[in-house]
Amino acid sequence: MAFTAFRGMKPFPQLMFTTFVVLVCFLVFMLLSMVVAVPLFGVEALFRMSSLTQLSDPETIRMLKFFQVIQSIGLFIIPPLVLAWLFHGKIAAYLSLNRPVTTVAAMLVVVLVFVVNPAINFTGSLNADMNFPEWLSGVENWMRQSEDTAARLTDAFLKTETTTGLLFNLFMIAVLPALGEELLFRGVVQQVLTRWTRNAHAGIWLAAALFSALHMQFFGFLPRLLLGVLFGYLLLWSGSLWLPILAHFVNNGAAVLGTWYIDQGKLDRSFEEIGAAPGNTWMAMVSILLTALVLWAIRKQYREQRLTLQ
């Protein structure tokens, strides 16, 4: 017998219930990860890890990566699967995973991620230069300290000299977030917010804002917001979650590979600042134009596909 108690819920209660399920899954998985981590790493090592002062210690990095993987699964992957089953019954249909993407659309999305990068970097540089009034200096200092801690942690995660380490980073930073964050924010949250606001555009922007805010990196809020909006429209136009999943994977994977090649001395560090470096405003403008053209091509393809099916 199908479990239908949560079907037909109004959008706002669905949103509150979604928050509840995400928190419960996160806490359960964190508890399980702590139980598993004690025999694997030892209690003393866990206390050292919590201070984030041993980022040069390989054992600490292994523990942090272990918790990062568990957090990604417990926070982003399991909750949307549970929610899709409760809200609809057919997980793939509710999460828009039952519609494949065309080869042309997939290729356009890969191109899109690369052409939008200079514009995203440009907005990131504007966001990073944000200054607060004097009376909010304490808040600004706290935000910048949080940003610096996140940056140091990311650098520690990405630093590896082995191919195995690179492949694991791709799994942890590209595969898991691309699947999990898109399942939750585009597959569930955007859908619920669209029903609540009765406006697809409002649903996309609100879900993108939550997506960016959850990263808790305040001086990178704007570029993540715009990426979230981009992923949201890819879902709206295609009707398939696989398109934003692909875009998210390519975006994160390119960052992992770029850092790898920079550390190997095979790529100049300026690669990370395309569009953000002083004097590169023209590059950001070209990026915006090319992005608009690629988005138009993607939307046109799916519009023509719908007309063909009618």
Q: Over the stretch 84-112, which tens digit does the pLDDT of each residue have?
A: 999 998 999 999 999 888 899 999 999 99
pLDDT tens for each residue of 246-300: 999 999 999 999 989 988 888 877 777 776 666 778 888 999 999 999 999 999 9
Judge whether residue 51 has pLDDT over 60: no
- Whether residue 173 contacts residue 252, with contact meaning beta carbons closer than 8 Å, is answered with yes
- Contact, 187 vs 241, CB < 8 A? yes
Average pLDDT over the chain reads: 87
The DSSP symbol for 214 reads: T
3-state secondary structure of 201: helix
The percent of residues above 90 in pLDDT, for the chain, comes to: 55
Task: Quote the DSSP letter at residue 5.
Answer: T
CA 81 to chain centre: 17
Give pLDDT, residue 174: 95
Residue 9 has pLDDT above 70, yes or no: yes
The one-character DSSP state at 267 is S
